[in-house]
């Protein structure tokens, strides 16, 4: 039987490349569906026709071929279309939307990583999302060494960046979590997959209880 929520719920997963968020977001969607919730699992950049095109440009273009400003605008463009085409309609249907990366990725990667102005990126995010923010965000924290060790060998344009870049991004996620303690929950991503998932469920249960039935 379908479980009822008072309204759609928007959950995002964040962290440096190789933190395990894609595995955990898939696992959470399957778990919630089994419990009877209607779920829409999605990701950025991508999951709509324009988003897929832009994902290819953003990740497959040769190193050095996109300026930082171009990169930020393309992520924002993909986000605007994804919000309008996928996220908002699912939330309006009362579903739980689970999104692998969202606004915090732009602050961490284009802000801390590329050195673009954070205030501008916040305004750009607000424009791209039309003000939509996640209800809950899980940041999976792993060391840069773990992240590098877990990644496959055929790196995309962003994964090619070095240790310093990823350390800046990891620090930015910690700062975002400090600044948004209500929304952002930090999860120890170094633990094994089951333990990471247990931490996520523990933080999610009280939140869903307050949203539902
Ligand atoms: P993924 O590998 O988790 O699918 O994410 C694609 C890459 O894009 C990842 O290296 C992070 C990066 N990214 C940004 O730099 N800014 C953004 O706003 C988003 C959504 C992703």
Task: Say if CB 194 and CB 134 are below 8 A apart.
Answer: no
Return mean pLDDT, the chain.
94
- The reply to whether ligand 1 has any atom less than 6 angstroms from the CB of 13 is no
- State whether residue 141 is helix, strand or coil: strand
Q: Which atom of ligand 1 is nearest to the CA of 158?
A: 10
Tens-digit pLDDT profile for residues 161-209: 889 999 999 999 999 999 999 999 999 999 999 999 999 999 999 888 8
| pLDDT for residue 2 | 66
Q: Whose CA is nearest to atom 16 of ligand 1?
A: 106
Task: Say if CB 45 and CB 54 are below 8 A apart.
Answer: yes
Give me 65's structure tokens: 């071929």
Residue 108 alpha carbon to ligand 1 centre in Å = 10
Confidence band (pLDDT; 50, 70, 90) for 6?
confident
Separation of first and last alpha carbons in the chain: 13
- Average pLDDT of span 102-118: 98
- The reply to whether ligand 1 has any atom less than 6 angstroms from the CB of 104 is no
- The reply to whether ligand 1 has any atom less than 6 angstroms from the CB of 17 is yes
Distance (Å, rounded) from C-alpha 197 to C-alpha 188? 10
Residue 58 alpha carbon to ligand 1 centre in Å = 9
Question: CB-side exposure of 142: number of CA atoms within 13 Å?
Answer: 23
Confidence band (pLDDT; 50, 70, 90) for 159?
confident
Is the pLDDT assigned to residue 4 strictly greater than 90?
Answer: no
| pLDDT for residue 210 | 86
Is the pLDDT assigned to residue 1 strictly greater than 60?
Answer: no
The full set of domain ranges for the chain reads: 9-211
Q: Which atom of ligand 1 is nearest to the CA of 106?
A: 18
Q: Whose CA is nearest to atom 1 of ligand 1?
A: 17
From the candidate CATH numbers 2.60.40.2230, 3.40.50.300, 3.30.70.141, 1.10.260.40, the one assigned to the domain spanning 9-211: 3.40.50.300
């Amino acid at each position: 039987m379908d479980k009822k929520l008072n309204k759609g719920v928007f959950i995002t997963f964040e962290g440096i490349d190789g933190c395990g968020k894609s595995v955990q977001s898939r696992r959470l969607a399957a778990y919630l569906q089994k419990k009877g919730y209607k779920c829409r699992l999605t990701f950025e950049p991508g999951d709509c026709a324009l988003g897929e095109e832009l994902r290819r440009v953003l990740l497959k273009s040769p190193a050095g071929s996109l300026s930082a400003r171009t990169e930020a605008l393309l992520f924002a463009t993909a986000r605007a279309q994804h919000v309008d085409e996928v996220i908002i309609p699912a939330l309006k249907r009362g579903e739980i939307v689970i999104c692998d990366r969202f606004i915090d990725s732009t602050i961490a990667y284009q802000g801390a990583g590329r050195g673009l102005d954070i205030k501008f990126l916040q305004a750009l995010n607000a424009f791209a999302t039309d003000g939509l923010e996640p209800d809950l965000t899980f940041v999976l924290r792993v060391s840069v060494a773990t992240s590098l060790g877990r990644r496959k060998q055929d790196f995309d344009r962003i994964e090619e960046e070095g240790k310093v870049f990823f350390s800046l991004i990891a620090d930015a996620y910690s700062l975002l979590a400090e600044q948004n303690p209500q929304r952002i929950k930090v999860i120890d991503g170094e633990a094994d997959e089951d333990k990471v998932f247990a931490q996520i469920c523990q933080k999610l249960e009280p939140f869903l209880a307050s949203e539902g039935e």
